[in-house]
Amino acid sequence: MSMTGTERIAKALKREEPDRVPTMELLIDPKVREVILPGASYEEFIEHMDLDGHVLFDKVYSWKYETVDEAKGIVKDQWGALTQFGTELLGHPVERAIKDEKDLDRYVPPDPDDESRYEPIKQWIKRFKGERAIFAHATDVFDIARESFLGDVLYYEAMVENPELVDRVNQIVLEYNLKSIRNQIELGADALSVTGDFAMTKGPMVSPKHTARFLTPATQKQVELGHELGVPVFKHTDGNLWQIIQLLVDTGIDGLHPIDPMAGMDLAEVGAKYPDLCLMGNVNCGATLSWKSVEEVRQEVKECIKKAGYGGGYICMSSNSIHSGVKPENYVAMIKAVREFGKYPLDLD
Amino acid sequence: MGTGILEQISKSVIEGNQNEADRLTKQAIQDGISAVEILDEGLIPGIRVVGQRFSDGEYYLPELLVSGKAMRFAVQQLEPFLSTGSGSCTGKFLIGTVKGDIHDIGKNIVAMMLKGNRWDVTDLGVDVPPEKVCDAIKGGDYDIFGMSTLLTLTMPAAHETIEAIKKAGLRDKVKIMIGGAPITQEFADKIGADEYAQDVWEAVTKAEQLVGGA
């Protein structure tokens, strides 16, 4: 009898062999979904593709927004930043919430206990619990504190010139995230995902010293809460992580996503160095899934499974998300290839 | 005396110490050192070290930004003394994020570093349609147009922009550079850009090479 998606994901995160390599995504753009299965809801699409899990991305499912300029797609996010939505599911902050440190003294954070935030996760749990893994989600503290609160420039400058300001902002976001994570897991989420980039193509955004001082402590608190509540946790960060990967592993994460191929991260290399880590992702959504051929997708999926799938501990995913530039036929080819090559025991030589 | 203070100015930029950069620049002006000399032998050598350290992975975004800020503070002190034509401008650079993409930090940092290296930079902002780029190239005497894209999705917009420049008969008027997280040399070659820069310092050095500089 075949395993459920929930079981496959649980096994993979424990670095054990499921019946086949599981697959899921952080986000699948509606435009791609619509071409593959016209008129279907996200839930119907997940069932149709038989994906093993789903991430309830907080920015999409539980954050609150107020419309500011409909024509320009500008909204105020729940932290007070103006965010512009372009062609992608996630917006981009265009005006930060905090202009001046004094703004923090009268800052009222959003309410993580507002019940209406959790309606979507309740629906997903009702529909998929026991069949497909439901991932609670938190956008990592660094991401929110930098993008929504202070803006990139002020945040980075404050790391050097005013570390107390960074600590204050980080703490506000962390407190919200911890309550939100607890609420989602207590409702029945099977695992936790913490997403937010710490690195760029060439290396970390900030030095390993600053990463250890300002970034990973908050990640660790979220990971520890997940574990305390009995669920495994994965961290997503794009980029070349080699300078900071040990810091990430030391937070206690069970899985790491997406082992970014465009930044030169290699599944075999990470797997060899961190055999206890579940590896997730690596199917190149910048090049292969976006503009290469179906056969090239098939070969890349095979290669990923060959590098990371033996012995379990691999979840085959794209190297970020199925964004709107992904060719729908390539995503379908990716899923077919996971089924073709991902059946345990693997035999790919 | 002069040499000493210029070295200290360089050091203040390298260390991102804006108060020192500001104070020493004022002091140098008072000492009678020309603004061009302060810029060319104090500030610019400093910001070049910063750029190189960033490129070498020794400095990261926070260090780059505070050094850039120190440089800006100091340059403000010099502006009243820098008449048009005093010292040479490296070239004129037109920059923007491609249509459909609203990310600006990479573009802004490149613009900042170019300015620090004596480029005259015109920033078209984000989500810039190809026709706006063509109008700007027509209306200005730019050496280089540099475009940025963070999204895989907007990579085709970079291609469309180059095609629009060609169609408008402007391709020979400017050199074209491209950068951004999803961009590769392969893609830059494919769409016919003159240069691809993987990071901010590569952008500065390759821009200089394109105009026949250092």
Which phi and psi (to 5°) does residue A289 adopt?
Answer: -70, -25
- What is the separation, in whole angstroms, between the first and last Cα of chain A? 26
Q: Residue A91's Cα: distance from chain center in Å?
A: 15
In contact, B124 and B142? CB cutoff 8 Å? no
Q: Residue B181's Cα: distance from chain center in Å?
A: 17
Q: Name which of A205, A285, A324 is nearest B61 (Cβ-Cβ).
A: A205
> Under CATH, to which class is A5-341 assigned?
alpha beta
At residue B65, the 3 state secondary structure works out as helix
Q: Residue A120's Cα: distance from chain center in Å?
A: 17
Architecture of domain B2-81: Orthogonal Bundle (1.10)
> What are the start-end ranges of the E strands in chain A?
53-55, 65-69, 74-77, 82-84, 92-95, 133-139, 191-195, 233-236, 255-257, 278-280, 314-315
In contact, B17 and B70? CB cutoff 8 Å? yes
Q: Residues of chain A whose C-beta is under 8 A from some C-beta in B?
A: 84, 86-88, 92, 94, 152-153, 156-157, 159-161, 200-207, 210, 238, 243, 262, 285-287, 290, 323-325
Residue B61 reports pLDDT greater than 70: yes
Residue B102 contacts A, CB cutoff 8 Å: yes
Q: So what's the pLDDT on residue A286?
A: 87
Q: What pairs with residue A314 in β-bridges?
A: A279
Report which of A183, A171, A149 is spatially closest to residue A221, judged by C-alpha positions. Answer: A171
Q: Name which of A161, A204, A290 is nearest B152 (Cβ-Cβ).
A: A290
Q: pLDDT below 50 — which residues of chain A? A: none
Average pLDDT of the residues of chain B: 87
Query: Radius of gyration (Cα) for chain B, nearest Å?
Result: 18
Whole-angstrom distance, CA of residue A294 vs CA of residue A291: 9
Say if the Cβ atoms of A157 and B69 lie within 8 Å: yes
* Structure ipTM: 0.84
In contact, A278 and A254? CB cutoff 8 Å? yes
Whole-angstrom distance, CA of residue B94 vs CA of residue B104: 14
- Contacts with B46 (C-beta within 8 Å, 6 or more apart), sequence order: B9, B10, B11, B12, B13, B14, B67, B71
pLDDT per residue as tens digits for the range B115-156: 878 889 999 988 899 999 999 999 999 999 999 887 666 788
Say if the Cβ atoms of B153 and A323 lie within 8 Å: yes
Provide, as residue numbers in chain A, all residues whose Cβ is less than 8 Å from the Cβ of B155: 290, 325
Query: Which CATH superfamily, name and number, covers B91-210?
Result: Cobalamin-binding domain (3.40.50.280)
In contact, B94 and B124? CB cutoff 8 Å? yes
Q: So what's the pLDDT on residue A87?
A: 67
Test mutation, B61, B99, B151, B198, chain A, max A CBs within 10 A = B61
Q: So what's the pLDDT on residue B78?
A: 85
Residue B2 reports pLDDT greater than 50: no
In contact, A144 and A91? CB cutoff 8 Å? no
Please state whether beta strands A82-84 and A92-95 pair in parallel, antiparallel, or not at all (unpaired): antiparallel
Test mutation, B50, B55, B56, B60, chain A, max A CBs within 10 A = B60
Report which of B115, B183, B116 is spatially closest to residue B148, judged by C-alpha positions. Answer: B183
pLDDT tier, B69 (very low <50, low <70, confident <90, very high otherwise): confident
Residue in chain B lying closest to A261 (CA) = B182
In contact, A315 and A21? CB cutoff 8 Å? yes
Q: At A317, which amino acid appears?
A: M
In contact, A247 and A212? CB cutoff 8 Å? yes
pLDDT per residue as tens digits for the range B73-113: 898 888 788 755 555 678 999 999 988 776 777 788 888 88
Say if the Cβ atoms of A86 and B198 lie within 8 Å: no
Phi-psi region at A131: left, alpha or beta (left = phi > 0; alpha = psi -120 to 50): alpha
In contact, B109 and B51? CB cutoff 8 Å? no
